[in-house]
A and B are shown apart, each in its own frame.
Chain A
């Protein structure tokens, strides 16, 4: 009876560690202009709590930034009749165009397998692949390949130990966005964990937008494709004629 009462109290006072994130971003809008060459976003914040700092399992912070999710086709080459050709293909239902996970310690130590699965934190968990066609046996190798290729181009980043935490209260990290960035709302999440359990979660968005000439050209190419095509040709003809005129002027 007494044991039941205690566990009941524990249940009522959930979450046990009443800690909350107060967040700051160095910028919540990334503008892609002509000379855009990647960007760095500083993510910092504090842990707000009503009670004294709990002592036992130390506080860990995980920060994730995810670009727009899209289906991706992964193809595999095989040697057929002496040449390498694409044979099998697996469609990954939803994979982020960009994904960065930063943690204050090794990711495996910051969060348990179950919590990772529930909140889709680590890179393999962020990718959703429902199922491969029947004829493909090892579909995991396709998702692994996706991660490998994206990691090589810095589109997927696992930055362990890059979130610095001071006095279990202040934390900060910097996320490098690569130059090859697509437009969209970049979902940003901060997890506070203790002993591998997520105790608090905070979500916000970073808006990545084309601006100025980039915006204008992009819109024109979609909404007024014929005009855009004619403009491209006009520029080509003018440049060709211009170079010819300049060169013949030099020769005279």
Chain B
């Protein structure tokens, strides 16, 4: 069934969009990532104009994250306190990121920068996670107990706060910095930032994986809602019909994904996310390195 999208001005298959939404929704619920880093390139691929894809994707992430976070609230796996601290950093970062994005746009080559950002961050995070979770799996197989959390320099910082759900007593400075960094990257790369946030929470803040997913979803809702409003009011690129089709699939997928995620071991969950992140990274790197079949591309005049 073909549906004409009023803002994107293209006609697409409704079932294809529902399916894509569902697939990304499952991943979103499982891993606590918004799925933007997967969905946005997929939307480009089926012919949605990039500006519309990025803006609409933000709106869809609001829906699937909200659906996912409710499931996590029921299991009490959301650290609201940590989420709020991260969110404060996230919003500051997003504002900074938008400012940086416009500055780079003026310099030109912003597309390239976005792509390089993707390749570098996806590659580094995916690689680190993959190695770490592989080691963890090997250790559990050998019967070694998991390494105890070490005290490091992070625990020496002031403004300590107790995060009961996460079982942490640490300074608020690292979470705020993580929030800002993710916010900046999220705004530049046009995604919720879950795929950066989740590893940062696990490895930098030492949060338990089960709590990480819900907390990440919690703060993604607000960051993407903010981005949606920004796109809708300045660029007029949010396509509500596209969003509805994606989110109907997405919210159902997120519910299923959350249930799958609960049944899986933390290491397995992390290794799967690592593989997925590496796959997307590989595809993007491939596109940059191999000669494209069409060297020319069309764009609207005026913008970049």
A243 pairs with B297, CB closer than 8 A: no
Determine how close the nearest CB of chain B comes to the CB of A136; give it in whole angstroms.
12
Produce 1/0 per residue, B1-42, CB < 8 A to A.
111101101110000000000000000000000000000000
B62 near A218: Cβ-Cβ < 8 Å: no
For B243, list chain A residues within 8 Å (CB). Answer: 232, 235-236
Q: Does B288 contact A (CB under 8 A)?
A: yes
* Cβ contacts under 8 Å, B295 to chain A: 76-78, 145
Residue from A32, A91, A149 within 8 A of B4 (CB atoms): A32
A33 to B241, CA, bound (A): 12
Chain A residues lying within 8 Å of B232, measured Cβ to Cβ, are 221, 225-226, 228-229, 232
Name the CB-closest residue of B to A85: B112
Q: Which of A6-14, A67-75, A112-120, A197-205 contacts its partner?
A: A67-75
Number of interface residues of A (CB under 8 A): 61
Shortest Cβ distance from B212 into chain A, in angstroms?
20
B63 and A239 form a contact (CB under 8 A): yes
What residues of B have a CB within 8 angstroms of the CB of A79 in the complex? 291
Residues of A contacting B289 with CB < 8 Å? 82-84
The answer to whether A228 and B240 have CB atoms under 8 Å apart is yes
Interface residues of B in 40-65 (CB under 8 A from A): 47, 59-60, 62-65
Contacts of A225 in B (CB 8 A): 232-233, 236
- Looking across the interface, which residue of chain A has its beta carbon closest to that of B60? A236
- Does the CB pair B240–A235 fall under 8 Å? yes
Which of B2, B59, B241 is close to A217, meaning CB atoms less than 8 Å apart? B241
Q: Known A86-B111, A239-B248; judge A73-B254 contact (CB<8 A).
A: no
Kindly provide the distance from the CB of B77 to the nearest chain A CB, expressed in whole angstroms.
14
A244 touches B233 (CB 8 A): no
Q: How far is the CB of B225 from chain A (nearest CB, A)?
A: 6
Enumerate chain B residues within 8 angstroms of A146, measured Cβ to Cβ: 296, 298
A136-195 with Cβ < 8 A to chain B: 142, 145-146, 148-150, 179-183
State whether the Cβ of B109 lies closer than 8 Å to any Cβ in chain A.
yes
A226's nearest neighbour on chain B, judged by CB, is B233
Could you tell me if A149 and B296 are in contact, using CB atoms closer than 8 angstroms?
A: yes
Closest to B285 in A: A83
CA distance A76 to B294 in the complex (A): 9
| B156 close to chain A: CB less than 8 A | no
**Contact A240 B64, CB 8 Å, known A82-B289, A85-B109, A91-B301:** yes
CA A78 to CA B106, docked complex, whole Å: 21
B255 touches A243 (CB 8 A): yes
Whether B301 lies near A244 (C-beta < 8 A) is no
User: Is B70's CB under 8 angstroms from A241's CB?
Assistant: yes
Which residue in chain A gives the minimum CB-CB distance to B247? A239
Q: Does B101 contact A (CB under 8 A)?
A: no
Chain B binding site: helix, strand, loop or mixed by DSSP? helix
Bound Cα distance A196, B190 (Å): 54
Q: Which of A148, A182, A244 has the most CB of B within 10 A?
A: A244
Inter-chain CA distance A36–B294, complex, in Å, is 29
For A150, the chain B residues whose CB sits under 8 A away are 298
Residue of A nearest to B3 (CB): A34
- Give Cα distance in the complex from A247 to B74, angstroms: 12
User: CB-CB < 8 A to A34: which residues of B?
Assistant: 3-4, 241
- Whether the Cβ atoms of A232 and B228 lie closer than 8 Å is yes
A83 shortest CB reach to chain B, Å: 4
Given known contacts A34-B4, A73-B301, A244-B71, A145 and B296 CB-to-CB distance under 8 angstroms? yes
Task: Report the minimal beta-carbon distance from B264 to chain A, rounded to whole angstroms.
Answer: 18
Chain B residues with CB below 8 A from A75, complex form: 296-299
B218: interface (CB < 8 Å) = no
| Residue A40 lies at the interface, judged by CB distance under 8 Å to chain B | no
Complex Cα distance A229/B11, Å? 22
B55 to chain A, nearest CB (A): 9
Contact of B296 among A76, A230, A243 (CB under 8 A): A76
Q: Which residues of B contact A130 (CB under 8 A)?
A: none
Q: Decide if A25 is an interface residue (CB 8 Å cutoff).
A: no
A229 in contact with B229 given A35-B3, A221-B7, A244-B71 (CB within 8 Å): yes
B286 → A minimal CB distance (Å): 11
Identity of the chain A residue whose Cβ is nearest the Cβ of B59 in the assembled complex? A232
Centre residue among B111, B292, B295 by max chain A CB count within 10 A: B295
Q: How long is the Cα–Cα vector from A91 to B303 in the complex, in angstroms?
A: 12
Q: Supply 8 further A-B pairs (C-beta < 8 A) apart from A76-B295, A215-B6.
A: A35-B2, A77-B295, A83-B112, A146-B296, A148-B296, A180-B10, A229-B238, A242-B251
Please list 12 pairs of residues, one from A and one from B, whose beta carbons are closer than 8 Å in the complex, sorted by A's number. A75-B299, A83-B289, A149-B294, A149-B298, A180-B47, A226-B229, A229-B228, A233-B59, A233-B228, A239-B248, A240-B251, A244-B66
Mark A residues whose CB is within 8 Å of B.
32-38, 70-79, 82-86, 91, 142, 145-146, 148-150, 179-183, 210, 213-215, 217-218, 221-222, 225-226, 228-233, 235-237, 239-244, 247-248
